[in-house]
Amino acid sequence: MSPTAFITGASQGIGKATALLFAKNGYDLIITARTKDKLEAIAEQIKKLDRQVLAITTDTGARTAVEALINLGIERFSQIDVLVNNAGICMTAPMSKTNIEDWEKIINVNLWGYIYTINALLPHFLERKQGNIINVGSFGGKVPLPNMTAYCTTKYAITGLTETLRLELEPQGIHVSGIHPSVTNSDFLERAVFKDSDPQQMKQMLSSPLVSQPEDVAKAIWNAVKHSEAEVIVGSAKVPTFLHRLFPGITQSMLQLATKSN
Protein backbone atom coordinates (compact mmCIF):
# COMPACT_ATOMS: atom_id res chain seq x y z
CA MET A 1 0.00 0.00 0.00
CA SER A 2 1.34 3.47 -0.90
CA PRO A 3 1.85 6.04 1.84
CA THR A 4 -0.61 8.95 1.97
CA ALA A 5 -0.05 12.64 2.72
CA PHE A 6 -2.74 15.16 3.67
CA ILE A 7 -1.78 18.70 2.63
CA THR A 8 -3.73 21.88 3.36
CA GLY A 9 -3.47 24.96 1.15
CA ALA A 10 -2.44 22.79 -1.80
CA SER A 11 -4.07 24.83 -4.57
CA GLN A 12 -0.97 26.97 -5.16
CA GLY A 13 2.41 28.11 -3.83
CA ILE A 14 4.18 25.99 -1.23
CA GLY A 15 1.28 23.54 -0.76
CA LYS A 16 1.05 22.82 -4.49
CA ALA A 17 4.83 22.30 -4.82
CA THR A 18 4.74 19.97 -1.78
CA ALA A 19 1.82 17.92 -3.13
CA LEU A 20 3.58 17.40 -6.47
CA LEU A 21 6.88 16.48 -4.80
CA PHE A 22 5.19 13.89 -2.56
CA ALA A 23 3.32 12.49 -5.57
CA LYS A 24 6.61 12.16 -7.51
CA ASN A 25 7.98 10.25 -4.53
CA GLY A 26 5.17 7.68 -4.52
CA TYR A 27 2.64 9.20 -2.13
CA ASP A 28 -1.11 9.26 -2.66
CA LEU A 29 -2.57 12.61 -1.72
CA ILE A 30 -5.46 14.21 0.10
CA ILE A 31 -5.40 17.89 -0.82
CA THR A 32 -7.55 20.81 0.20
CA ALA A 33 -7.98 24.58 -0.24
CA ARG A 34 -11.01 26.77 -0.95
CA THR A 35 -10.62 27.40 -4.70
CA LYS A 36 -12.18 24.47 -6.57
CA ASP A 37 -10.76 24.96 -10.09
CA LYS A 38 -7.17 25.41 -8.90
CA LEU A 39 -7.43 22.40 -6.60
CA GLU A 40 -8.85 20.24 -9.37
CA ALA A 41 -6.04 21.30 -11.72
CA ILE A 42 -3.46 20.12 -9.16
CA ALA A 43 -5.41 16.86 -8.72
CA GLU A 44 -5.12 16.27 -12.49
CA GLN A 45 -1.35 16.79 -12.33
CA ILE A 46 -1.13 14.28 -9.47
CA LYS A 47 -3.17 11.70 -11.42
CA LYS A 48 -0.79 12.12 -14.39
CA LEU A 49 1.98 11.03 -12.00
CA ASP A 50 0.02 7.78 -11.51
CA ARG A 51 -0.91 8.60 -7.94
CA GLN A 52 -4.36 8.55 -6.35
CA VAL A 53 -5.77 11.80 -5.06
CA LEU A 54 -8.75 13.01 -3.04
CA ALA A 55 -9.23 16.74 -3.67
CA ILE A 56 -11.97 18.40 -1.63
CA THR A 57 -12.53 22.12 -1.12
CA THR A 58 -12.59 23.04 2.57
CA ASP A 59 -12.10 26.14 4.67
CA THR A 60 -9.55 24.89 7.21
CA GLY A 61 -10.97 27.39 9.70
CA ALA A 62 -14.21 25.37 9.79
CA ARG A 63 -13.79 22.57 12.35
CA THR A 64 -16.58 20.20 11.28
CA ALA A 65 -15.59 20.42 7.60
CA VAL A 66 -11.96 19.58 8.48
CA GLU A 67 -13.06 16.62 10.61
CA ALA A 68 -15.33 15.34 7.83
CA LEU A 69 -12.51 15.58 5.27
CA ILE A 70 -10.06 13.67 7.47
CA ASN A 71 -12.62 10.92 8.08
CA LEU A 72 -13.24 10.73 4.34
CA GLY A 73 -9.48 10.52 3.70
CA ILE A 74 -8.99 7.67 6.18
CA GLU A 75 -11.99 5.85 4.70
CA ARG A 76 -10.62 6.20 1.16
CA PHE A 77 -6.94 5.37 1.79
CA SER A 78 -7.19 3.36 5.09
CA GLN A 79 -4.25 5.32 6.46
CA ILE A 80 -2.72 8.79 6.54
CA ASP A 81 1.02 8.92 7.11
CA VAL A 82 1.88 12.61 6.81
CA LEU A 83 -0.06 15.75 7.72
CA VAL A 84 1.28 19.00 6.23
CA ASN A 85 -0.42 22.00 7.83
CA ASN A 86 0.30 24.78 5.36
CA ALA A 87 -2.86 26.82 4.54
CA GLY A 88 -2.25 30.36 5.73
CA ILE A 89 -2.98 34.02 5.12
CA CYS A 90 -0.94 37.17 5.65
CA MET A 91 -1.72 40.57 7.08
CA THR A 92 0.53 43.60 7.47
CA ALA A 93 -0.72 46.25 9.87
CA PRO A 94 0.12 47.86 13.19
CA MET A 95 -2.05 46.73 16.12
CA SER A 96 -3.88 50.08 16.12
CA LYS A 97 -5.17 49.34 12.60
CA THR A 98 -6.01 45.67 13.23
CA ASN A 99 -9.64 45.24 14.20
CA ILE A 100 -11.09 42.25 16.02
CA GLU A 101 -12.52 40.79 12.79
CA ASP A 102 -9.00 40.88 11.29
CA TRP A 103 -7.63 39.07 14.36
CA GLU A 104 -10.36 36.46 14.26
CA LYS A 105 -9.86 35.82 10.55
CA ILE A 106 -6.11 35.31 10.70
CA ILE A 107 -6.15 33.28 13.94
CA ASN A 108 -8.92 31.10 12.53
CA VAL A 109 -6.90 30.01 9.49
CA ASN A 110 -3.29 30.24 10.71
CA LEU A 111 -3.81 28.72 14.16
CA TRP A 112 -7.22 27.04 14.60
CA GLY A 113 -6.89 25.49 11.12
CA TYR A 114 -3.70 23.71 12.28
CA ILE A 115 -5.25 22.65 15.61
CA TYR A 116 -8.37 21.24 13.90
CA THR A 117 -6.38 18.96 11.57
CA ILE A 118 -4.05 17.73 14.33
CA ASN A 119 -6.94 17.13 16.70
CA ALA A 120 -8.86 15.16 14.08
CA LEU A 121 -5.88 13.06 12.95
CA LEU A 122 -4.23 12.39 16.30
CA PRO A 123 -6.35 9.35 17.32
CA HIS A 124 -5.40 7.72 13.97
CA PHE A 125 -1.68 8.44 14.49
CA LEU A 126 -1.78 7.29 18.14
CA GLU A 127 -3.55 4.07 17.23
CA ARG A 128 -0.91 3.28 14.59
CA LYS A 129 1.93 4.56 16.84
CA GLN A 130 3.31 6.41 13.83
CA GLY A 131 2.75 9.52 11.73
CA ASN A 132 4.34 12.82 10.73
CA ILE A 133 2.96 16.25 11.59
CA ILE A 134 4.62 19.01 9.59
CA ASN A 135 3.61 22.54 10.55
CA VAL A 136 4.57 25.25 8.08
CA GLY A 137 5.29 28.27 10.26
CA SER A 138 7.34 31.27 9.21
CA PHE A 139 10.53 33.09 10.12
CA GLY A 140 7.89 35.51 11.52
CA GLY A 141 7.32 32.82 14.16
CA LYS A 142 10.97 33.01 15.21
CA VAL A 143 11.76 36.75 14.80
CA PRO A 144 9.33 39.65 15.44
CA LEU A 145 8.53 41.46 12.17
CA PRO A 146 7.61 45.16 12.14
CA ASN A 147 3.90 45.93 11.61
CA MET A 148 3.00 42.26 11.49
CA THR A 149 1.70 41.75 15.02
CA ALA A 150 -1.32 39.61 14.11
CA TYR A 151 0.58 37.45 11.61
CA CYS A 152 3.55 36.94 13.95
CA THR A 153 1.18 36.14 16.84
CA THR A 154 -0.23 33.23 14.83
CA LYS A 155 3.19 32.05 13.67
CA TYR A 156 4.79 32.25 17.15
CA ALA A 157 1.80 30.19 18.30
CA ILE A 158 2.64 27.60 15.63
CA THR A 159 6.24 27.50 16.93
CA GLY A 160 4.92 26.85 20.46
CA LEU A 161 2.42 24.28 19.25
CA THR A 162 5.06 22.45 17.23
CA GLU A 163 7.81 22.40 19.86
CA THR A 164 5.52 21.37 22.72
CA LEU A 165 3.71 18.75 20.68
CA ARG A 166 7.05 17.25 19.69
CA LEU A 167 7.90 16.69 23.38
CA GLU A 168 4.56 14.97 23.85
CA LEU A 169 4.38 12.85 20.71
CA GLU A 170 7.93 11.79 19.81
CA PRO A 171 8.01 9.14 22.58
CA GLN A 172 4.81 7.73 21.05
CA GLY A 173 6.35 7.29 17.60
CA ILE A 174 4.89 10.43 16.01
CA HIS A 175 7.30 12.88 14.46
CA VAL A 176 6.55 16.61 14.67
CA SER A 177 8.41 19.13 12.57
CA GLY A 178 8.38 22.92 12.12
CA ILE A 179 9.27 24.32 8.70
CA HIS A 180 9.85 28.06 8.75
CA PRO A 181 10.08 29.69 5.30
CA SER A 182 11.71 33.05 4.64
CA VAL A 183 10.07 35.32 2.05
CA THR A 184 8.96 32.94 -0.70
CA ASN A 185 7.99 33.68 -4.26
CA SER A 186 4.31 32.67 -4.20
CA ASP A 187 1.14 34.77 -4.41
CA PHE A 188 1.12 35.05 -0.60
CA LEU A 189 2.10 38.74 -0.49
CA GLU A 190 -0.11 39.55 -3.51
CA ARG A 191 -3.07 38.21 -1.55
CA ALA A 192 -2.06 39.76 1.79
CA VAL A 193 -4.11 42.47 3.51
CA PHE A 194 -2.09 45.68 3.91
CA LYS A 195 -3.20 48.40 6.32
CA ASP A 196 -1.15 51.52 6.95
CA SER A 197 1.86 50.02 5.19
CA ASP A 198 3.15 50.13 1.65
CA PRO A 199 2.34 46.91 -0.24
CA GLN A 200 4.84 47.76 -2.96
CA GLN A 201 7.71 47.86 -0.46
CA MET A 202 6.89 44.33 0.70
CA LYS A 203 6.28 43.02 -2.80
CA GLN A 204 9.60 44.48 -4.01
CA MET A 205 11.28 41.93 -1.76
CA LEU A 206 10.07 39.27 -4.18
CA SER A 207 12.49 40.51 -6.85
CA SER A 208 15.48 39.87 -4.56
CA PRO A 209 17.69 36.91 -5.47
CA LEU A 210 17.55 35.96 -1.76
CA VAL A 211 13.88 35.01 -2.03
CA SER A 212 13.06 31.29 -1.78
CA GLN A 213 10.95 29.40 -4.30
CA PRO A 214 7.96 27.25 -3.23
CA GLU A 215 9.94 24.20 -4.44
CA ASP A 216 12.73 25.00 -1.91
CA VAL A 217 10.19 24.85 0.92
CA ALA A 218 8.62 21.68 -0.51
CA LYS A 219 12.05 20.04 -0.54
CA ALA A 220 12.62 21.05 3.10
CA ILE A 221 9.25 19.49 4.02
CA TRP A 222 10.15 16.29 2.16
CA ASN A 223 13.55 16.08 3.88
CA ALA A 224 11.97 16.73 7.28
CA VAL A 225 9.72 13.71 6.78
CA LYS A 226 12.45 11.52 5.30
CA HIS A 227 15.10 12.33 7.91
CA SER A 228 12.79 13.15 10.88
CA GLU A 229 14.16 16.68 11.15
CA ALA A 230 12.73 18.70 14.03
CA GLU A 231 13.04 22.23 12.64
CA VAL A 232 14.16 23.81 9.40
CA ILE A 233 14.51 27.51 8.62
CA VAL A 234 14.31 27.69 4.83
CA GLY A 235 16.19 30.42 2.96
CA SER A 236 17.77 33.73 3.83
CA ALA A 237 16.14 34.19 7.26
CA LYS A 238 18.52 31.61 8.76
CA VAL A 239 20.97 34.36 9.78
CA PRO A 240 18.50 36.81 11.43
CA THR A 241 16.80 33.88 13.18
CA PHE A 242 20.12 32.68 14.57
CA LEU A 243 21.10 36.22 15.64
CA HIS A 244 17.73 36.80 17.31
CA ARG A 245 18.08 33.58 19.29
CA LEU A 246 21.52 34.64 20.57
CA PHE A 247 21.08 38.43 20.86
CA PRO A 248 17.35 39.25 21.09
CA GLY A 249 18.00 42.76 22.53
CA ILE A 250 20.19 43.75 19.59
CA THR A 251 17.84 42.46 16.88
CA GLN A 252 14.87 44.13 18.66
CA SER A 253 16.70 47.51 18.54
CA MET A 254 17.64 47.03 14.89
CA LEU A 255 14.05 46.18 13.93
CA GLN A 256 12.75 49.22 15.83
CA LEU A 257 15.19 51.46 13.96
CA ALA A 258 14.07 49.92 10.64
CA THR A 259 10.42 50.54 11.58
CA LYS A 260 11.08 54.21 12.44
CA SER A 261 12.92 54.87 9.17
CA ASN A 262 9.93 53.56 7.13
Ligand X SMILES: NC(=O)c1ccc[n+]([C@@H]2O[C@H](COP(=O)([O-])OP(=O)(O)OC[C@H]3O[C@@H](n4cnc5c(N)ncnc54)[C@H](OP(=O)(O)O)[C@@H]3O)[C@@H](O)[C@H]2O)c1
CB of 213 to ligand X, least distance (A): 10
For the stretch 45-52, contacts whose Cβ atoms lie closer than 8 Å and that sit 24 or more positions apart, written own/partner, are: 45/20, 46/19, 46/20, 49/20, 49/23, 49/24, 51/2, 51/23, 51/26, 51/27, 52/2, 52/28, 52/77
CB of 198 to ligand X, least distance (A): 17
Question: Of the two residues 88 and 178, which places its CB atom closer to ligand X in the complex?
Answer: 88
Question: Of the two residues 38 and 97, which places its CB atom closer to ligand X in the complex?
Answer: 38
- List the 231-234 sheet strands across, edge first: 53-55, 28-32, 4-8, 82-85, 131-136, 174-181, 231-234
Question: Of the two residues 38 and 195, which places its CB atom closer to ligand X in the complex?
Answer: 38
CB of 262 to ligand X, least distance (A): 19
Question: CB neighbours of 54 closer than 8 A, spacing ≥ 6?
Answer: 29, 30, 31, 72, 73, 76, 77
Residues at the contact surface with ligand X, assessed by CB under 6 A: 8-15, 33-35, 38, 59-61, 86-89, 109, 136, 138, 181, 183-184, 186-188, 191, 214
Catalytic residues: 151
CB of 171 to ligand X, least distance (A): 28
Residues forming a β-bridge with 181 = 234
CB of 12 to ligand X, least distance (A): 4
Q: For residues 41 and 216, is the Cβ–Cβ distance under 8 A?
A: no
Question: Of the two residues 130 and 251, which places its CB atom closer to ligand X in the complex?
Answer: 251
Question: Of the two residues 184 and 197, which places its CB atom closer to ligand X in the complex?
Answer: 184
Residues forming a β-bridge with 85 = 135
